[in-house]
Amino acid sequence: MPAVTVENPLTLPRLPEAQAGTPGRKVLAVETAPSGFEGEGFPVRRALAAIKPEYLDPFVMMDQMGEVDYAAGEPKGTPWHPHRGFETVTYMIDGVMEHLDSNGGGGTITNGDTQWMTAGAGILHKEAPPEWLVQQGGLFHGIQLWVNLPGAKKMIAPQYQDIGGSSVVLLSSHDGGALVRLIAGDLAGHVGPGSTQTPITLLHATVSPGARLVMPWRQDFNALAYALSGRGTVGTERRPLSGGQLAVFEGFGNRPGLATQAGSITITAAAKEPLEVIVLGGEPIGEPVAHYGPFVMNTKAELVQAFEDFQAGRLGSIPAQHA
């Protein structure tokens, strides 16, 4: 880990150096993600599960899938299942995953690729390792993120984006100590390839041992940092952070009265090992959330309607060749 890298980050566009007096966002909390299982039984860490929903908006869920090295016959995925009302983002750090959906989208993602599925009004999809990987086993590691849609967009037509690892925007910290892979959104004027229905920024950073990454962050976005592996600190107050933990930064997305707390976010790696971290933030939607199973709506009545529509076959059908 990770697959997408460069030998010399200083050859890349650089993020601006933090200016003296620029406020750094404080850290509200650091929480350890609980472990569980998903789909047919692959291990996950529920990165956002210990955080109050009001600090997460517009994000609903994020799972770290693996990191696990499967033996032959062990790789697992998810069977066909429905979604409505949000977007799923699957980022494969190591390994291979195949996606199929009832809208004709899909493909194979591996080693730094991302698939971005807008479920919208409703879709059926399936994610699973290819048959050859099931037979021989192998490394499996990635994340899946659920991004909420505002009420006005919950019933838009489904869409699918295939974002190859070679298309992510690669950036360096000002001194070359950190490599940033920008998947979606804007960071210091650089724009990632992912097209988002809800304004967000999503990136994967590798902070070299002892290095510090300081990133300017949009005033109207909240900010979250999840450590995939390694150890380090977050914030100018240097709160400890290690693999499997999520840091919540203070900001506009947490309390409306703190719009001036935009500034920057700071992540520092420990002296002897790199820190691999997913950083994300978005513009809070600020609407009621009714979430149950594979549906994320605004009201209980809309959830009931989603289940009825699924049972009636109105969320799509499995393609005949895959039924």
Sequence-separated contacts (24+) of 317-320 with Cβ below 8 Å: 317/102, 317/124, 318/80, 318/102, 318/124, 319/100, 319/102, 319/104
Q: Side chain identity at 121, as an amino acid letter?
A: A
Tokens of 39: 């789909």
CA distance linking residue 121 with residue 85, whole number of Å: 6
pLDDT digits (tens, 9 = 90+) for 298-313: 999 999 999 999 999 9
pLDDT of residue 20: 62
Alpha-carbon separation of residue 141 from 76, 206, 227 (angstroms): 12, 16, 13
Residue 98 is inside which H or E element, if any? strand 96-101
Contacts of 113 (CB under 8 A, 6+ apart): 91, 92, 162, 163, 164, 165
**Hey, which residues does 178 pair with through a beta bridge?**
207
Percent of the chain with pLDDT strictly greater than 70 = 93
Range 242-258 average pLDDT? 75
> What is the average pLDDT value for the chain, to the nearest integer?
91
Residue 57 and residue 222 in contact, taking contact as beta carbons nearer than 8 Å: yes
Residue 82 pLDDT class (50, 70, 90 cuts): very high
pLDDT of residue 322: 62
pLDDT digits (tens, 9 = 90+) for 201-233: 999 999 999 999 999 999 899 999 999 999 999
End-to-end CA distance of the chain: 35
Question: b or e along 256-292 (b: 16 or more beta carbons within 10 Å of the residue's beta carbon)?
Answer: eeeeebbbbbbbbbbeebbbbbbbbbbbbbebebbbe
Alpha-carbon separation of residue 178 from 102, 171, 228 (angstroms): 40, 8, 15
CA distance linking residue 83 with residue 296, whole number of Å: 8
Instruction: Give CA torsion, residues 100, 303, 146, 316, to 10 deg.
Output: 10
